[in-house]
């Protein structure tokens, strides 16, 4: 349990592994560590982002926090209760406090269910209150996310992508959760629609005092939405810092390369930013190197990086980095 009453979600040593069959019936079972020993905290009313590229484990981490994927070890402490130890009925009830917004608005809504019922489902599952009361909540939610009340009777395919995502958001809000996990909530939407959804999420955060765990690969969006950022690479946290530190003084070579790879319309940034191209592809997740997982692509890797795994180290206030080459001076080895 966290001592800080400000902290809503405290994730410790979260690990998710998947068994992968290898070598026939009697072969040694191999495990893929999709999320490997990660820890982070989110304060009430704040937004923490997990960023990373495909295969980094960011989505798996989010699913494990919400217990939609079973964690192998670790604790997920939501407001004083360890979410991972809850069983059956307790878990079903506790889910009300933690809701999920999904990436793909086309597959996250049941095509055979009317919009109003999709939004009402979490309430129906909890059997909270009379049916009329639930309907009233649905009415309010539709308004809150900017949909017409007449649209309640429609089926998902009669909505555009952005509207569908609004339904998904309304569904997540239905049980008045403390924490909402947003898994790439805008990456499947057209650019102009993305802005509508991002603005809506920020507005709802202020209006309802929500806390967000935000999963994204889009650093521009993360920069706009989040207060704290966790950068993941191959299941490990490589850097963990507040927004300004991370974007203005990225320390881990991977973070630096990731940031420099984002194309920008800002002329000044393009002129100043030296693009660091990292060659090659990430290693095979079933055959991870002994040392730093980024070593094979890192432009400044030394011998030690290949043999010894770096641990997450606080190098400045609220700025943790897992790199042998970063020390208390908090200077990136690439600068």
Partner 1 sequence: MTAPLLKVENLRIELTTRDGVAPVIDDLSFELGAGESISFVGESGCGKSMTALGIMGLLPEKVGRVASGSINFAGEELSTATEKRMREIRGNDISMIFQEPMTSLNPVYTVGEQIAEVLRAHQNLSKAAAWASAIELLDAVRIPNAQRRVSDYPFQMSGGQRQRVMIAIALACKPKILIADEPTTALDVTIQAQIFDLLNDMKRQTGAAIIMITHDMGAVAEMAERMIVMYAGRNAEQGPVEQIIERPRHPYSKGLIACVPHIMATLTEERRELTEVAGIVPSLREFGKNRCLFASRCNMVTQKCLDKRPPEVAFEGQQMSACWHAEAV
Partner 2 sequence: MSTNPLIPKDNVPIARHPAAEAWEMFRRNHAAMVALVVLSAIVLVAIFGPYIYPIDPFDMVWAPFSPPGVDGFILGTDYLGRDLLAAIIHGARVSILIGLAAALMSVFIGVTVGALAGFYRGWVEEVLMRITEFFQVLPTLLFSMVIVALFGASLPMITFAIGIVSWTAVARITRSEFLRIRELEYVTASRASGTKNSKLMFKVILPNALPPIIVQAALMVGSAILFEAGLSFLGLTDPNVVSWGQVIGSNRQYILDAGYTVTIPGIAIFVTVLAISLVGDGLNDALNPKLRQR
Identify what 160 binds: partner 2, partner 1, none; CB under 5 to 8 Å per kind.
partner 1
Query: Residue 62 Cβ, how far from partner 2 at the closest point, in Å?
Result: 11
Backbone φ and ψ for 320, nearest 5 degrees, come out as -110, 140
State residue 312 phi and psi, 5-degree precision: -70, 125
Task: Return the closest-CA partner of residue 172 out of 215, 230, 212.
Answer: 212
Q: Cα–Cα distance between 172 and 256 in angstroms, integer? A: 34
Q: Is 199 in the site for partner 1 (CB under 8 A)?
A: yes
Task: Pick out residues in 273-292 that bind partner 1 (CB under 8 A).
Answer: 273, 275, 277-281
Considering CB under 8 A, how many residues would be counted as binding partner 1? 48
Cα(134)–Cα(126) distance, rounded to whole angstroms?
Answer: 11
Nearest residue to 125 via CA among 152, 155, 89, 153: 89
Query: Which residues 204-233 are close enough to bind partner 1 by CB under 8 A?
Result: 217, 219-221, 223-225
Q: What is the spatial distance between Cα 288 and Cα 268, in angstroms, rounded to a whole number?
A: 39
Pick what 280 binds: partner 1, partner 2, none; C-beta below 5 to 8 Å, kind-dependent.
partner 1
Contact letters (x/-) for partner 2, 121-140, by CB under 8 A? Answer: xx--xx--------------
- C-beta closer to partner 2: residue 72 or 106: 106
Judged by CB under 8 A, the chain residues 137 through 196 that form the site for partner 2 are 146, 148, 150-151, 153-155, 157-158, 168, 171, 174-175
288-327: contacts with partner 2 (CB under 8 A): none
- Contact (Cβ atoms closer than 8 angstroms) between residue 323 and residue 295: no
Instruction: Judge whether 278 and 298 are in contact, CB under 8 Å.
Output: yes
Q: Does 244 bind partner 1 (CB under 8 A)?
A: yes
> What are 78's strand-pairing partners?
9, 81
Strand pairing report for 211-216 and 30-43:
unpaired
Nearer to partner 2, 172 or 325 (CB): 172
Residues making contact with partner 1 (CB under 8 A): 53-54, 160-162, 190-196, 198-199, 202, 217, 219-221, 223-225, 243-244, 247-248, 257-270, 272-273, 275, 277-281
């Amino acid at each position: 349990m966290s001592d800080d009453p400000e902290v809503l979600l405290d994730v410790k040593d979260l690990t998710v592994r998947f068994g992968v069959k290898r070598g026939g019936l009697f072969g040694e079972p191999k495990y893929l560590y999709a999320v490997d020993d990660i820890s982070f905290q989110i304060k009430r009313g704040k937004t923490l982002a997990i960023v990373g590229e495909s295969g980094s484990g960011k989505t798996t981490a989010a699913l494990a926090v919400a217990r939609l994927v079973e964690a192998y070890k670790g604790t997920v402490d939501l407001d004083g209760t360890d979410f991972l130890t809850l069983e059956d009925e307790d878990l079903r009830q506790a889910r009300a406090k933690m809701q999920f917004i999904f990436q793909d608005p086309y597959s996250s809504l049941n095509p055979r269910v009317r919009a109003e019922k999709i939004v009402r489902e979490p309430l129906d599952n909890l059997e909270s209150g009379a049916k009329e009361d639930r309907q009233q909540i649905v009415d309010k939610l539709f308004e809150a996310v900017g949909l017409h009340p007449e649209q309640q009777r429609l089926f998902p395919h009669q909505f555009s992508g952005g509207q569908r995502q609004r339904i998904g958001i309304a569904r997540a809000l239905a049980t008045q959760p403390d924490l909402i996990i947003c898994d790439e909530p805008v990456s499947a939407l057209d650019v102009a629609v993305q802005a509508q959804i991002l603005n809506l999420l920020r507005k709802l955060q202020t209006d309802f005092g929500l806390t967000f765990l935000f999963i994204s690969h889009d650093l521009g969006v993360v920069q706009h939405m989040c207060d704290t950022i966790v950068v993941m690479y191959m299941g490990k946290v490589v850097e963990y810092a507040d927004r300004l530190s991370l974007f203005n003084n990225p320390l881990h070579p991977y973070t630096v390369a990731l940031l420099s790879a984002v194309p920008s319309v800002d002329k000044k940034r393009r002129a100043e930013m030296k693009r660091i191209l990292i060659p090659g592809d990430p290693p095979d997740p079933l055959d991870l190197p002994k040392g730093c997982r980024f070593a094979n692509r890192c432009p400044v890797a030394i011998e030690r990086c290949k043999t010894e795994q770096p641990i997450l180290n606080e190098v400045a206030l609220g700025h943790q980095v897992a790199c042998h080459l970063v020390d208390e001076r908090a200077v990136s080895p690439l600068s």
